[in-house]
Amino acid sequence: MLREGQVRIPSGCAISGIINRKGNRFSGEKIIESIAVMHDRSNGLGGGFAAYGIYPEYKDFYAFHMFYDNLQAKEDVEHFFNEHFSVELSGIIPTRKVSSIKKSPIIWRYFMKPLPDKIRDSELYEDEYVVQCVMKINSKFSGAYVVSSGKNMGAFKAVGYPEDVGEFYKLEEYQGYTWTAHGRFPTNTPGWWGGAHPFTLLDWSVVHNGEISSYDANRRYVEMFGYDCSLQTDTEAITYAFDLLLRKHGLPLDMAIQTVAAPFWDSIAHMDEKQQKVFKALRITYSSLLINGPFSIILGSKNGFVALNDRIKLRALVAAEDNDTLYVASEESAIRAVCPKPERVWSPRGGEPVIGLLEGADSI
Amino acid sequence: MTLSMNTPEFLVERNLDRCIKCQVCVGQCANEVHKYDKETDSLSCEDLACVGCHRCVTLCPTHALTIKKFPLEFRTNANWTPSTINAIYKQAESGGILLTGMGNDKPYPIYWDHLLLNASQVTNPSIDPLREPMEVKTYLGRKPDKLDFSDGELLTEIAPQVELELPIMFSAMSFGSISLNAVKSLAAAAKEVGTMFNTGEGGLHQDLYSYGDNAIVQVASGRFGVHSQYLEAGTAIEIKIGQGAKPGIGGHLPGEKVGREVSETRMIPEGSDALSPAPHHDIYSIEDLRQLIYSLKEATRYKKPVAVKIAAVHNVAAIASGIARAGADIITIDGFRGGTGATPLRTRDNVGIPIELALAAVDSRLRNESIRHQVSLVVAGSLRNSADVMKAIALGADAVYIASSALLALGCHMCQKCYTGKCNWGIATQDPNLVKRLNPEIGAQRAANLLRAWKHEIKEMLGGMGINAIESLRGNRLMLRGVGLSDRDLEILGVKAAGE
Amino acid sequence: MKKIYAQEKYCIGCRLCEVYCSAVHSEYPNDLVKAFNRSKIVPTPRVKVEEDRPLSFAMQCRHCDEPHCLKACITGAMYRDEESGAILNDAERCVGCWTCIVACPYGGIFRDESKSKVVAKCDYCLDQGDPACVKNCPNGALKIEEGGE
């Protein structure tokens, strides 16, 4: 059977996200409880979490979460790491036995800083240098896969129901200020752990529900800018699209959102002249980054998250607020499960973002 | 006088029970096939003159006429087919190059017919264009690599763009090769539907300056009709290097077609042959092309996108890359099935490559070089229906040009005799008796209807794929699957086989 | 009143207007083949294509506001139809003197050689909806619309 990356696998899903905007950290139990409610939206073939604020003692180091199929792959990648980074600490990611989680790869993590002279030689910015290393491992090292590569954050994913995955990784022992979760319902599965979500790059993480019909248009566009869509998943392409717009091209967050969930030409025609010019420029320049077809996504970063629907809202997305905490999920039940009486619950319109930022952050 | 070995291609049959001797056929045939004999009060046919244009059949009020293939069998020979044999008879008689019109009619593979489109089922919803917005608006022109903002303000200026309400334009057909009424029909249809017509290399007739907002003005090797007012008149300028029906040679308008109006528009003496040189004599290499592109931009103060049109030839991908880097904003590629008013038969049928493969190769090449997004890619060369258009866009085109399809909408019956100037449908002719047969009001309606119909179909198919904006189909080759293609074909097309 | 206008720039001289005019005034108004091949006498068309190639146009009665033919008619056969405003000829009263033909400045009235004495002129196909010539012009060169002379 071909695994993810060798074949494109469409899937439906459940997503959930919780942020404490004051930056207060809380354990992974809450997000597990939330995503567990939507059990029927996944089918046991993929679950995962992204957590921010979990490694405060190593917050200046890139935390690489790795999957290895075998020891040879681990050895090869560690050789590569030693050539390109200074590794502060490495070790196994603790897990517990869960009957439904099987065939675990070797799961390892590393806290590292890029070697300064290597960055200089590469003539790249530090973050781009790290990105290139991630791309290289995923495409060139057989049997190795970078699960996450950001600072003070990590992704935890596996083949299984998300609540089992949370138990497997002992997420109750981690404290984070932002958590996102994903339960997967692939229509065809090779049962590969790397194919589970969230998908991450640097400190971006994306959980996504939907099957985008613009995938190949989006993919072929981002690939022109140096990304390698080795997994062939929507989530991967969406992550790279945001990375390109926000990090590489430096677009303001609202402009990036209006690129992937662009207003209709008819709406643009009704804007004032100045706005028209901006939105026309966005749609003309980034037409290939319009994400088409049904999606709801939560884009996480160190500063918070943005939840977004496609522009005609073909997928469910509900948001709620209670004190300093912002919730988003595929279903309202998933929010009520952990916050029975939120101050406000609403269903954002298609293309209208729900933005949860840490206090003091001005953009994602 | 010696014996001609030409034999009829068509047999004209008249059903005498139905014929009312109204003689409409006699008056309508510019080739003088039908004759009325007063003495015997009867009609007769000269089959040899019939080109199979169906003008008489269509206008016969009692449907008394039938045109058949002339039943003349040579001994069966897979090598020496009737057309190869007859070609030799013709050349033995004339000593000249065989001429023809319209596009390559040989049975080369039609890749469009080996590509299938996708639709949504269960895992994502299809979208109903009758209930949801469905966008097919397209902008052609140079795009920036990125947009720069400062404090939320957009700093980047977008280069001039051609705005299209649908990604289909009327391809270059000059006034001269086609009649003024045909050009007027296309210009008015383009205006009505919100797209462009292309002047071809014949200049812009004074009556058509009012359609300038819907015109792409062409600059070809003969520079006929090119002056500053002309360059200013259109929304974009296209440098024609070559065309699919005759790669490597220039256009040729015989003097008989150069009447007063053609002469004034082209700025050449009445009755003189308008012979376009094979190359532009100021473009012998890619850096020369750059100079012409920028000369035209300078001349129009950088307010018009400049397109470069080439025929799809063997190394089209590398050439297209060079054109993009030479500063063209739009690259037009014309495949080997593209039509024309007149071309040497052997060139038409044997030079160039299919547009499907050329398009895939160019799009892939430009992407590999990370410059695809900077330029617009327009393809031509036999887009026969809305599904072909969808497939072209999925392979990577921004928009398409149609010409044969547009002429069919005006009444063309594909008889391939455009070069004779005796087009019975008033399209490829300058004979005032024939030109008036095409009423431009009717022509404009028919051409506009065709575009509207295709637009509806495109929206239906897009919606079926779960896409609500045409740009999400552009280069989205996952929406295509190949059937009956070799692995090599699939690889070049960048498309998976059906079932994969 | 509505009038038929010829657009000479689009008239292709095919004479289908004449063909259909004849047929519609024959014994078989809905069957061209029978109208021409079975009628004892094929009616004279009431429209005539005038041509000096490439110029051509179809000419028929203008149904004038002040019709000379009506004044000239010696028997009162020529009359204006109250309802439609069309100038019509009552074949019963027409004696075939053809004074109207001489009087018409347009040449819009024709000798009907298929009959013994009566003139043929456009009757607007009043019982047929739009006139047959207009309906069957293949190039939109005949239009019926409200307008002046």
Count of CB pairs separated by less than 8 Å, A with B:
122
What's the rounded Cα separation, in Å, for the pair C125 and C131? 5
For chain A, which residues make up each domain, given as ranges? 11-203+312-357
Residues in A touching B324 (Cβ below 8 Å)? none
B132 three-class SS: coil
Residues in B touching C18 (Cβ below 8 Å)? 22
User: Residue B21's closest chain C neighbor by CA?
Assistant: C36
DSSP symbols for B311-337: E--TTHHHHHHHHHHTT-SEEEEE-TT
Instruction: For chain B, say whether A204 makes contact (Cβ under 8 Å).
Output: no
What's the rounded Cα separation, in Å, for the pair C19 and C38? 15
Q: For residue range B225-283, what is the model confidence (pLDDT) as tens digits?
A: 999 999 999 999 999 999 999 999 998 888 888 999 999 999 999 999 999 999 999 99
- Show which of B32, B66, B96 is a domain's final residue: B96
> Which among A10, A218, A288 has CB closest to B373?
A288
Architecture of domain A11-203+312-357: 4-Layer Sandwich (3.60)
Burial class (CB in 10 A: 0-12, 13-18, 19+), B320: buried
Instruction: Answer yes or no: is pLDDT of A188 > 60.
Output: no
Structural contact between residues B289 and B308, judged by C-beta atoms closer than 8 angstroms: yes
C-alpha distance from C149 to closest chain B C-alpha (Å): 24
* Residue B217 structure tokens: 């003005």
Q: For residue range A87-117, what is the model confidence (pLDDT) as tens digits?
A: 999 999 999 999 999 889 999 999 999 999 9
Q: What CATH number does residue B409 fall under? A: 3.20.20.70
Name every residue whose Cβ is closer than 8 Å to that of residue A249 and which is 6 or more positions away in sequence.
B146, B147
Query: Which amino acid, A261?
Result: A
Name every residue whose Cβ is closer than 8 Å to that of residue B114 and which is 6 or more positions away in sequence.
B482, B483, B484, B485, B489
Structural contact between residues B15 and B64, judged by C-beta atoms closer than 8 angstroms: yes
Range of the domain at B468: 138-497
Q: For residue range B52-79, what is the model confidence (pLDDT) as tens digits?
A: 999 999 999 999 999 999 999 999 999 9
> Which among B17, B20, B27 has CB closest to C32?
B20
CB-based contact C14 B28, cutoff 8 Å: yes
What's the rounded Cα separation, in Å, for the pair B236 and B300? 10
Helices (H), B95-226: 180-193
> Which among B18, B433, B439 has CB closest to C10?
B439
Q: For residue range A256-284, what is the model confidence (pLDDT) as tens digits?
A: 999 999 999 999 999 999 999 999 999 99
Q: For chain B, list the contacting chains (3+ Cβ pairs, <8 Å).
A: A, C
Q: Are residues B470 and B359 in the same domain?
A: yes
Residues in B touching C9 (Cβ below 8 Å)? 436
Name every residue whose Cβ is closer than 8 Å to that of residue A247 and which is 6 or more positions away in sequence.
A127, A202
- What is chain B's mean pLDDT, rounded? 96
Instruction: For chain C, say whether B17 makes contact (Cβ under 8 Å).
Output: yes
The share of chain A scoring above pLDDT 90, in percent, equals 82
Q: Look at residues B492, B450, B472 and name the one whose alpha carbon lies nearest to residue B189.
A: B450
Q: For residue range B297-339, what is the model confidence (pLDDT) as tens digits?
A: 999 999 999 999 999 999 999 999 999 999 999 999 999 999 9
Name every residue whose Cβ is closer than 8 Å to that of residue A225 and which is 6 or more positions away in sequence.
A244, A248, B370
Check residue C50 and give its pLDDT. 94
Check residue C117 and give its pLDDT. 67
ipTM score over 0.90, yes or no: yes
Cα B388 vs. chain centroid, distance in angstroms?
14
User: Residue B443's closest chain C neighbor by CA?
Assistant: C139
C-alpha distance from B493 to closest chain A C-alpha (Å): 14
Mean pLDDT (whole number) for C99-119: 85
Q: In the structure, do chain C and chain A come into contact, i.e. share 3 or more CB pairs under 8 Å?
A: no
Check residue C127 and give its pLDDT. 80
Mean pLDDT (whole number) for B349-366: 98
Q: Are residues B165 and B267 in the same domain?
A: yes
CB-based contact B147 A251, cutoff 8 Å: yes
Identify residues of C whose CB sits under 8 angstroms from chain B CBs: 9-16, 18-20, 32-33, 35-37, 53-54, 136, 138-141
Going by DSSP bridges, is the β-strand pair B376-380/B330-334 parallel, antiparallel, or unpaired? Answer: parallel
CB-based contact B471 A277, cutoff 8 Å: no
What's the rounded Cα separation, in Å, for the pair B27 and B32? 8
Architecture of domain C2-146: 2-Layer Sandwich (3.30)
Interface of B with C in 30-49 (CB under 8 A): none
Residues in B touching A187 (Cβ below 8 Å)? 122-123
Length of chain C: 149
Q: Look at residues B113, B162, B130 and name the one whose alpha carbon lies nearest to residue B305.
A: B162
What's the rounded Cα separation, in Å, for the pair B319 and B325? 10
CB-based contact B124 A225, cutoff 8 Å: no
Q: For residue range B77-91, what is the model confidence (pLDDT) as tens digits?
A: 999 999 999 999 999
Check residue A4 and give its pLDDT. 66
| B14: enclosing H helix or E strand | strand B10-14
- What is chain A's mean pLDDT, rounded? 93
Check residue C116 and give its pLDDT. 64
C-alpha distance from B439 to closest chain C C-alpha (Å): 6
* Residue C8 structure tokens: 């000479």
Query: Which amino acid, A106?
Result: I
Interface of A with B in 283-302 (CB under 8 A): 283-288, 290-294
B22 three-class SS: coil
CB-based contact C14 B24, cutoff 8 Å: yes
Q: Look at residues B402, B104, B109, B384 and name the one whose alpha carbon lies nearest to residue B247.
A: B104
Q: For chain A, list the contacting chains (3+ Cβ pairs, <8 Å).
A: B
Q: Look at residues B26, B99, B109 and name the one whose alpha carbon lies nearest to residue B343.
A: B99
CB-based contact B20 C33, cutoff 8 Å: yes
| B237: enclosing H helix or E strand | strand B236-240
pTM score > 0.90 for this model? yes
Q: In the structure, do chain B and chain A come into contact, i.e. share 3 or more CB pairs under 8 Å?
A: yes
Q: HEC states along chain A?
A: CCCECCECCCEEEEEEEEEECCCCCEECHHHHHHHHHCHHHCCCCCEEEEEECCCHHHCCCEEEEEEECCHHHHHHHHHHHHHHEEEEEEEECCCCCCCCCCCCCEEEEEEEEECHHHHHHHCCCHHHHHHHHHHHHHHHCCCEEEEECCECEEEEEECCCHHHHHHHCCHHHCEECEEEEEEEEECCCCCCHHHCCCEEECCEEEEEEECCCCHHHHHHHHHCCCCCCCCCCHHHHHHHHHHHHHHHCCCCHHHHHHHHCCCCHHHHHCCCHHHHHHHHHHHHHCHHHCCCCCEEEEEEECCEEEEEECCCCCCCCEEEEECCEEEEECCHHHHHCCCCCCCEEECCCCCCCEEEECCCCCCC
How many beta carbons lie within 10 A of that of residue B270, not counting itself?
12
Q: Is residue B128 included in any domain, yes or no?
A: no
Residues in B touching C14 (Cβ below 8 Å)? 24, 27-28, 59
| B265: enclosing H helix or E strand | helix B260-266
CB-based contact A214 B467, cutoff 8 Å: yes
C-alpha distance from C142 to closest chain B C-alpha (Å): 12
What's the rounded Cα separation, in Å, for the pair A302 and A339? 23
C131 three-class SS: coil
User: Residue B437's closest chain C neighbor by CA?
Assistant: C12
* Residue B88 structure tokens: 């030799």
C-alpha distance from C109 to closest chain B C-alpha (Å): 21
Q: Are residues B359 and B484 in the same domain?
A: yes
Q: Is residue B118 included in any domain, yes or no?
A: no
Q: What CATH number does residue B28 fall under? A: 3.30.70.20
Pairwise pLDDT comparison (B107 vs A362), residue with the higher score: B107
> Which among C18, C32, C140 has CB closest to B62?
C32
* Residue A319 structure tokens: 């948001």
Which of B134-143, B145-154, B215-224, C112-121 has the least mean pLDDT? C112-121
C-alpha distance from B17 to closest chain C C-alpha (Å): 8
What's the rounded Cα separation, in Å, for the pair A199 and A234? 10
Mean pLDDT (whole number) for A29-58: 93
Structural contact between residues A202 and A243, judged by C-beta atoms closer than 8 angstroms: yes
What's the rounded Cα separation, in Å, for the pair B238 and B255? 25
What's the rounded Cα separation, in Å, for the pair A40 and A17? 18
Check residue B286 and give its pLDDT. 92
CB-based contact B432 C54, cutoff 8 Å: yes
CB-based contact B471 A217, cutoff 8 Å: yes
What's the rounded Cα separation, in Å, for the pair C3 and B360? 58
Check residue B256 and give its pLDDT. 84
C-alpha distance from B276 to closest chain A C-alpha (Å): 36
CB-based contact A265 B135, cutoff 8 Å: yes
How many beta carbons lie within 10 A of that of residue C124, not counting itself?
25
Residues in B touching C135 (Cβ below 8 Å)? none
Name every residue whose Cβ is closer than 8 Å to that of residue A226 and which is 6 or more positions away in sequence.
A132, A135
Kindly provide the residue ranges of all beta strands, DSSP E only, lying in chain C, ordered along the sequence: 2-6, 48-52, 55-59, 78-80, 87-89, 109-111, 119-121, 142-146
CB-based contact B20 C35, cutoff 8 Å: yes
CB-based contact A213 B465, cutoff 8 Å: yes
* Residue B422 structure tokens: 């005796």
Check residue C149 and give its pLDDT. 47
Q: In the structure, do chain C and chain B come into contact, i.e. share 3 or more CB pairs under 8 Å?
A: yes
Instruction: Answer yes or no: is pLDDT of A5 > 80.
Output: no
CB-based contact A216 B478, cutoff 8 Å: yes
Looking at the annotation, which residues of A are catalytic?
Answer: 13
Pairwise pLDDT comparison (C116 vs A86), residue with the higher score: A86
Burial class (CB in 10 A: 0-12, 13-18, 19+), B369: middle
C-alpha distance from C34 to closest chain B C-alpha (Å): 9
Check residue B144 and give its pLDDT. 97
Q: What are phi and psi of C98, to 5 degrees?
A: 65, 20
CB-based contact C36 B22, cutoff 8 Å: yes
Kindly provide the residue ranges of all beta strands, DSSP E only, lying in B86-173, ordered along the sequence: 99-100, 115-117, 138-140, 149-150, 153-154, 162-164, 168-172
Mean pLDDT (whole number) for A130-140: 93
Instruction: Answer yes or no: is pLDDT of A189 > 70.
Output: no
Residues in A touching B373 (Cβ below 8 Å)? 221, 224, 288
For chain C, which residues make up each domain, given as ranges? 2-146
CB-based contact C36 B20, cutoff 8 Å: yes
Q: Is residue B127 included in any domain, yes or no?
A: no
Residues in B touching A266 (Cβ below 8 Å)? 133
Q: Are residues B259 and B405 in the same domain?
A: yes
Burial code (b: 16+ CB inside 10 Å, e: under 16) for A319-339 equals: bbbbeebbbbbbbbebbbbbb
CB-based contact C10 B59, cutoff 8 Å: no
DSSP symbols for B44-90: EE-GGG-----HHHHH-TT--EEEEE---PPPP-SSS-HHHHHHHHH
Residues in B touching C12 (Cβ below 8 Å)? 28, 433, 436-437
Q: For residue range C41-96, what is the model confidence (pLDDT) as tens digits?
A: 888 999 999 999 999 999 999 999 999 999 999 999 999 999 889 999 998 899 88
> Which among C20, C37, C140 has CB closest to B441?
C140
